[in-house]
Structures are given as structure tokens and as C-alpha cells.
Amino acid sequence: MVDNSPQIDINQLLSYCDDLVGVLRDKRDFNLLTQCVQQSKSIQSSSDSDFNTTQIAISDYQDKIDDCKHKIEVARSEVVSNEELERLQKELDEELKREKLLREDLRVIVDKINELDHQRLSLEEQSQRLKKLEDEHEKEQRKLSFYASVTKIIPDLENPSKISGHIIDRDKKAVEKFEFDPLQEDAFDICNKTWKMINL
């Protein structure tokens, strides 16, 4: 019986396999996620620094407010003039306003830190998922390469309803396509035919 199936150049097939491996090993997405995580950590570090600076400023203003209150109490106890009391009261009011503004700034910084922390966790999860997928791709590629070298068969995984693929004959530099329909042949016959192809 003459085989009329199309012959594929082995060099083209091997070149296609090399291109497929190159695509599977492309780590640009993983590197981009890693860079985003590093930038997130840098921004968070800057926010932590701003947070600490603001906390120190609030503490300083609280000391000034306490000092103003003390001066007011001393002034009242010494029965100072109304002008002095008004001046001290204005100073206290200004310090209270500044403290309020600093507390609002601190709240904004805390919100930013929480948001950055959430983004960092999300990016780390995506990075781990991508790394896992890359490891699985590499594992499957190694499996496929091993099966092909042992059996001389490259399976076609795009159509799960049929058992198909190509048989590579390196000596003849030829590729032969095969296909079995599980609905028309039983598993035992398909297994026997596959073994015959491998042992040719």
C-alpha cells in the first residue's frame, strides 16, 4: 500500500520545535512582574520614611501645644494681661490647626502604605503563578522531547478527540502523519498499532 500522506521536511519540523521552546522560555512577563514588585517595595519604603517623619513632626507639635497650654496656665496663675492671653491663645489655635493638618497627612500616608502593601501581595501572587506555569511548561517540554527521542513519535495535542501525531524517521529524513479514531477502534488495537510504529 502506497502512503500518500504529505512528507514534512525534518529540518522545518525541528526548527518549529526550537521556536516553540523559545516561546515557552520567554520570561519577559515574569521579569516585568518582578520589576513591579521591586518598584512597589521602593515606593513603600519611601512612604514609610514619610510616615516616620510626619510622626516625629506631630510629636514636636504636641510638645509645642503642651508648652503653650503650660504657658497659658502659668499666665493665668500670674494674672497676666489680656493681650498676652490672647496672643497665647492664638498660638495654641495655630498649633492645633497644624496638628490637624499633620494628622490628615498621616492618614493619607497610611492609606497609601496599605494600598501599596495590597498591590505588592497581588504582584507576588501573580509572580508565583507565572513561575509555576513556566515550570510546568518546561516540564511538559522536557517530557515531549523525551517521548519523541524514545518513541520517534511527536503527538498532536490540539485535538483531544483523536489520537494523532507524526512519526519521525531520522535515517530517511522523513515525517509521517498518523491518526486513530477512538470511536472506531478499540484501545487494544490502537495500542498494538502504536507499538508497531515505534518498533519500525
Please indicate, yes or no, if residue 15 is contained in any of the structural domains: no
Please indicate, yes or no, if residue 175 is contained in any of the structural domains: no
What pLDDT, on a 0 to 100 scale, did the predictor assign at position 101?
92
Report the domain count for the chain: 1
What pLDDT, on a 0 to 100 scale, did the predictor assign at position 183?
84
Please indicate, yes or no, if residue 4 is contained in any of the structural domains: no
pTM of this prediction?
Answer: 0.40
Please indicate, yes or no, if residue 93 is contained in any of the structural domains: yes
Please indicate, yes or no, if residue 179 is contained in any of the structural domains: no
Please indicate, yes or no, if residue 79 is contained in any of the structural domains: yes
What pLDDT, on a 0 to 100 scale, did the predictor assign at position 1?
45
Answer yes or no: are the C-beta atoms of 109 and 51 closer than 8 Å: yes
What pLDDT, on a 0 to 100 scale, did the predictor assign at position 53?
86
What pLDDT, on a 0 to 100 scale, did the predictor assign at position 140?
83
What pLDDT, on a 0 to 100 scale, did the predictor assign at position 73?
80
Task: Give the CATH number, domain containing residue 129.
Answer: 1.10.287
Domain that holds residue 99: 27-151
pLDDT by 10s per residue, the chain, length 200: 445 555 567 777 777 676 656 654 556 655 665 676 678 778 888 888 888 888 888 888 888 888 888 888 877 776 656 777 788 889 999 999 999 999 999 999 999 989 988 898 889 999 899 999 999 988 888 887 887 777 777 777 777 778 888 887 766 666 778 888 888 888 888 888 888 877 76
Please indicate, yes or no, if residue 143 is contained in any of the structural domains: yes
Please indicate, yes or no, if residue 172 is contained in any of the structural domains: no
For every residue of 101-158, which 3-state class applies, written as one string? HHHHHHHHHHHHHHHHHHHHHHHHHHHHHHHHHHHHHHHHHHHHHHHHHHHCEEECCC
